[in-house]
Amino acid sequence: MGSGDLGCPAVERLLASPQDEVVAVVTQPDRPQGRKLQLAPCPVKAFVAGRVPVLTPEKCGAPDFVAQLAALRPDLIAVAAYGQFLPRALLDLPPHGVINVHPSLLPKYRGAAPIQWAVARGEMETGVSIIYLIDKMDAGDIVAQERVALAPTATAADLAPQLAALGAELLARVVGEIRAGTVRRTPQDDALATRAPLLRKTDGRLDWSLPAMELYNRIRGFFPWPGCSFEWPRGSEKRVKVLKAVPTSGSGEAGTMISNDPRHLIVACGSGALQLIEVQPEGKKPMPAAAFLNGAHLAPGERLG
């Protein structure tokens, strides 16, 4: 069961196993995408098209779907970025249980956006956990875990494919251990749990009163979606996305431009300053911050929205 990009290497690894039979793949239904809002399949459905039966229930807990899945008599269900909460009826269905690929070092970052929040909060390492699913969000027993160093310049987009590949290898190892009866379970310590809630567009609004390093981490963590942005011109509804930035020295009123150099757009933050490198005004293509600076006619002391 998987929908997002994280699930593609996982299902590929299982399909390639001579010892396992993938009787079906379950994904989210086709959703409107793009400017024309045309129906399009999720990444996993597109990835396995024509190779294995694909089921796309609107709600995986619906009785008719549970009956359909039960008829396939799965020994084990593997989940990777599926996008729906699995009810007890599904968790109890396979005799060997339901396991999940989660891209964080559980119990840290339980929730829908663990990669993004780990980067946004400045973690120095992250990883992948394989757990048994229970009816509490990402709280089941851990059966495998691998750590990955998080480069200080890495974005969520950089990290995602690395963790997806690692998750696929871990999943294949755990399936083998379950088959052999050698899998070992370690309960999570709920006291150490942190949350990684679903991202909203408003999470990307830059609050210049925060420290520059915190804003830098959020820009990396929320790339490419929802992206971090500020309002410009001030008082308008238009947003300017910040695609690349670096923390730098400087001080001033939070949100004001503090550079006299027309080549550098430096903004004072709650502590320190942020030099914007690449931005994307609403409705335009990405551009160097210097080009935006010239077009917006910003001067030192002006405050960004």
Model pLDDT for residues 79-130, shown as the tens digit of each residue: 999 999 999 999 999 999 999 999 999 999 999 999 999 999 999 999 999 9
Q: Which amino acid is at 304?
A: L
Residue 234: the pLDDT is 82
- CATH number, domain 7-192: 3.40.50.170
Cα–Cα dist 97/174, whole Å? 12
Cα–Cα dist 288/160, whole Å? 26
Task: Tell me if the bond preceding 87 is cis, omega within 30° of 0.
Answer: no
Cα–Cα dist 126/103, whole Å? 8
Contact 250, 265 (CB under 8 A): no
Contact 177, 137 (CB under 8 A): no
Instruction: Specify the DSSP element, H or E, that contains 127.
Output: strand 125-132
Cα–Cα dist 109/119, whole Å? 11
Q: Which amino acid is at 37?
A: L
Residue 235: the pLDDT is 81
How many Cα atoms occupy the beta-carbon half-sphere of 283 within 13 Å? 3
Our CA angle for 252, 257, 262, nearest 5°, is 135
* Residue the block writes with tokens 């981490």: 217
Coil/strand/helix, residue 242: strand
Which percentage of the chain shows pLDDT scores above 70? 100
Residue 262: the pLDDT is 81
Q: Could you tell me how many residues make up the chain? A: 305
Residue 24: the pLDDT is 98
The residue-averaged pLDDT of 152-167 equals 97
* Residue the block writes with tokens 């929730």: 111
Main-chain phi, psi angles of 243, to 5 degrees: -90, -35
Q: Do domains 7-192 and 201-296 have the same CATH topology?
A: no
Band (159; pLDDT cuts 50, 70, 90): very high
Which percentage of the chain shows pLDDT scores above 90? 92
Q: Is the pLDDT of residue 237 over 90?
A: no
Identify which of 222, 224, 225, 242 has the alpha carbon closest to the alpha carbon of residue 282.
242
The mean-pLDDT minimum among 22-26, 37-41, 44-48, 140-144 falls in 37-41
Q: Where are the domains of the chain?
A: 7-192, 201-296
The residue-averaged pLDDT of 150-156 equals 96
Average of per-residue pLDDT values in the chain:
96
Q: Is the pLDDT of residue 298 over 90?
A: no
Q: Which residues contact 1 (CB under 8 A, 6 or more apart)?
A: 25, 26, 27, 60, 77, 78, 79, 80, 82, 86
Where does residue 87 rank: exposed (0-12), middle (13-18), buried (19+ CB within 10 A)? middle
Band (34; pLDDT cuts 50, 70, 90): confident
Among 232-236, 256-260, 277-281, which range has the highest average pLDDT? 277-281
The residue-averaged pLDDT of 43-61 equals 97
Cα–Cα dist 163/6, whole Å? 8
Cα–Cα dist 62/132, whole Å? 22
pLDDT in tens, 238-247: 999 999 999 9
- Report the CATH superfamily, name and number, of domain 201-296: Formyl transferase, C-terminal domain (3.10.25.10)
The residue-averaged pLDDT of 271-290 equals 96
